[in-house]
Amino acid sequence: MGTYIARHLQVLFATLGDLRRTPMSTINTLLIIAITLLLPCLLYVTVKSAQTLSDSWEGRPQISIFLKKEISDDTATLIFEEVKLHPSIELAEFVTPEQALAEFKVLSKGEANLEQELAFLGENPLPPSIVVMPDKASAKSEKLIALKDELSQFDGIESVRLDLDWTDRFNAMLLVFSRVAMLLSGLLALGLILIVGNTIKLLIFNRRHEIEITKLVGGTDTFVRRPFLYYGTLFGLLGSIISLGLLLGAASLVAQPLNQLAELYQSNGLIHQVTALEMLAVVLVGSLLGWLAARWSVAQHLRDIQPK
Amino acid sequence: MIKLSHVSKRYPNGHEALKDVSFDLAAGEMAFLAGHSGAGKSTLFKLITRIEKPTSGQIIVDNQNLSRMRSSKVPALRREIGVIFQDHKLLFDRSVFDNVALPLIVIGLPHDEIQKRVRAALGKVGLSGKEKQYPVTLSGGEQQRVGIARAVINRPNILLADEPTGNLDEALSDEIIDIFADFNQVGVTVLIATHDLRQVERLNKRTIHLVQGQLVENAISSGKSEVE
């Protein structure tokens, strides 16, 4: 066991030494890996920040129920009571035609034309209505639509208007964006494997002679491929650490103007602070991808190199 | 130790390197494999170390049938055989120490043990104190001896040498062949491919002749010759 660990450490240090001996190509490779990893990280931080933003609004949609104009006040009250008792509804408020007209007048103040037209009509054209706020569980878009359909069936109800307000639209867009981000991240991970795999392939061909001789003196496949697996893992590890550095740098660059913006909207901490756990995850994923790339490359190319 | 029965090797280009070769080399025996270049000596070595597989026939090395050997067992076979190559096959970007140590690193020996054995092996071939040098700074004969040190470091049962005296002067050649004879003295089976008939006569050992891939065996010591 001790020898086994010593052997691994020896390969690790030998590989680190090899990386140091060719600084330019090492830095090149590491930067390519870092930038490839940086893109998914940036997308993640953006999605996370946007989610924090949308959570902070805590907005809940409203449903406006317009009753038929011809129904009596009693029927209207009956409908109101029924709506109020609906299990998905937290709050319901009855708006009489008079209240609606008053509100309308306040809102359209200064617009002389509208007032003239109202006066011309002679009577109040607005129907009685109920403004409803669904409970938290029903505040999701699909449930809201179901609730809306259900309410539309009621006798005496003319129409139901659902205001999926813009927080919902924002959340829906965010969902699309995060899916696209995930897809893009998957593609970039694949790209990373190809980049590292290709680098390992070049290393294998550069060390062809050494591999042949090692096999000649009885080196097993496991022994021969070990340094290349270390190469891949180290590329991934170091590349992801550089990537984190770039990410934190980019975040601090954006944070200041973004926080100024947030202050204007009486909000705070718009940008997602990357946690230690997330950093660890990036490093682990980076190393794992590097290792996978090396495995893939080694499986493709090492078998072909046999002593002659 | 090494037993070939009706071994033939034909390359994809149609060249028949070995034709129905059979011989048996006992444990602890030393023999020369003589023949002109292209007679099939190198091919024979490649078959014994399972770098290549025969087209037909059977090869048994140390009681292992190479035809039935799985490729995962090949490294273990090669650890039992020390091979010295005509072109030395040294790593020129590694020190003499690293070159000689390679067979031990491969089996994962602890570092202090490796150091001890490398020093001993280099002492044996007369290269003490050259551990830190690089092969390019050494003469041809010294490079050949680095190759020998590497071949014997793992204390193999079998030593195969392909033209070990290829481009060395007589004194150096004698020295190197004597090193092999020394190993044979302690029980190592030795097979040396050479076209240097002077050595063959000097050591008076069994000689296997290959002529155009076919075997012609001479036992020089008794003066008789058999033709197969």
The pLDDT tens digits of the residues spanning B204-214 come to: 888 888 888 88
Query: Chain A closest CA to B78's CA: distance in Å?
Result: 5
As annotated, the residues of chain A forming the CATH 3.30.70.3040 domain(s) are: 62-164
Looking at the predicted structure, is the pLDDT value of residue B219 above 80? no
Contact B107 A7 (CB under 8 A): no
Contact by Cβ (8 Å): B51, A308:
yes
Query: Chain A closest CA to B50's CA: distance in Å?
Result: 10
Q: Which of A48-57, B171-180, B198-207 bottoms out in mean pLDDT, i.e. has the lowest?
A: A48-57
Q: Which of A3-7, A284-288, B89-93, B152-156 bottoms out in mean pLDDT, i.e. has the lowest?
A: A3-7
Q: What is the ipTM of this complex?
A: 0.88
Of the pLDDT bands very low, low, confident and very high (cuts 50, 70, 90), residue A268 is low
**Residues in CB range of B51: below 8 A, 6 or more apart:** A216, A306, A307, A308, B45
Query: Chain B closest CA to A307's CA: distance in Å?
Result: 6
Q: Which of A50-59, A70-79, A148-157, A270-279 bottoms out in mean pLDDT, i.e. has the lowest?
A: A50-59
Interface test with B, best of A217, A221, A225, A308 (most B CBs within 10 A): A217
- Predicted confidence at residue A2, as pLDDT, reads 72
Looking at the predicted structure, is the pLDDT value of residue B2 above 90? yes
- Mean of per-residue pLDDT scores for chain A: 85
Looking at the predicted structure, is the pLDDT value of residue A258 above 60? yes
Looking at the predicted structure, is the pLDDT value of residue B54 above 80? yes
Contact by Cβ (8 Å): B121, B152:
yes
Looking at the predicted structure, is the pLDDT value of residue B217 above 70? no
Angle at alpha carbon of residue A195, lines to A190 and A200, rounded to 5°: 120
- Predicted confidence at residue B221, as pLDDT, reads 43
Interface test with A, best of B91, B115, B152 (most A CBs within 10 A): B91
- Predicted confidence at residue A59, as pLDDT, reads 58
Chain A residues lying within 8 Å of B114, measured CB to CB: none
Region at B158 (left for phi over 0; alpha for psi -120 to 50; beta for the rest): beta
- Does A306 lie at the interface with B, CB-CB under 8 angstroms? yes
Of the pLDDT bands very low, low, confident and very high (cuts 50, 70, 90), residue B228 is very low
Higher pLDDT, A14 or A120: A14
Chain A residues lying within 8 Å of B102, measured CB to CB: 213-214, 217, 219
User: How many Cβ pairs closer than 8 A exist between chain A and B?
Assistant: 53
CA A301, CA A308: separation in Å to the nearest integer?
16
Of the pLDDT bands very low, low, confident and very high (cuts 50, 70, 90), residue B227 is very low
Contact B91 A216 (CB under 8 A): no
Of the pLDDT bands very low, low, confident and very high (cuts 50, 70, 90), residue A208 is very high
Helices A23-57 and A221-264 sit at what angle, rounded to 10 degrees? 40
- Predicted confidence at residue A133, as pLDDT, reads 80
Looking at the predicted structure, is the pLDDT value of residue B223 above 60? no
Looking at the predicted structure, is the pLDDT value of residue B226 above 90? no
Which of A258, A283, A268 has the alpha carbon at shortest distance from A41?
A283
Contact B75 A220 (CB under 8 A): yes
Of the pLDDT bands very low, low, confident and very high (cuts 50, 70, 90), residue A257 is confident
Higher pLDDT, B1 or B218: B1
What does the pLDDT look like over A139-175, one tens digit per residue?
Answer: 666 777 788 888 888 888 888 887 766 667 788 888 8
- Predicted confidence at residue B166, as pLDDT, reads 75
Chain A residues lying within 8 Å of B110, measured CB to CB: 3, 6
| Closest residue, chain A, to B89 (C-alpha) | A213
Contact by Cβ (8 Å): B124, B179:
yes
Chain A segment 223-242 residues within 8 A of B by beta carbon are: 223
> Which of B83, B107, B110 minimises the CB distance to A6?
B110
Contact by Cβ (8 Å): B103, B154:
yes
Contact A218 B103 (CB under 8 A): yes
Domains and CATH numbers, chain B: 2-227 (3.40.50.300)
CA A223, CA A26: separation in Å to the nearest integer?
23
| Closest residue, chain B, to A220 (C-alpha) | B75
Contact by Cβ (8 Å): B87, B167:
no
Looking at the predicted structure, is the pLDDT value of residue A269 above 90? no
What does the pLDDT look like over B183-199, one tens digit per residue?
Answer: 999 999 999 998 888 88
Region at B108 (left for phi over 0; alpha for psi -120 to 50; beta for the rest): left
- Predicted confidence at residue B171, as pLDDT, reads 86
Looking at the predicted structure, is the pLDDT value of residue B55 above 60? yes
Looking at the predicted structure, is the pLDDT value of residue A282 above 90? yes
CATH of A62-164, one of 3.30.70.3040, 3.30.1050.10, 3.30.1360.40, 3.30.420.40: 3.30.70.3040
Chain B residues lying within 8 Å of A212, measured CB to CB: 89
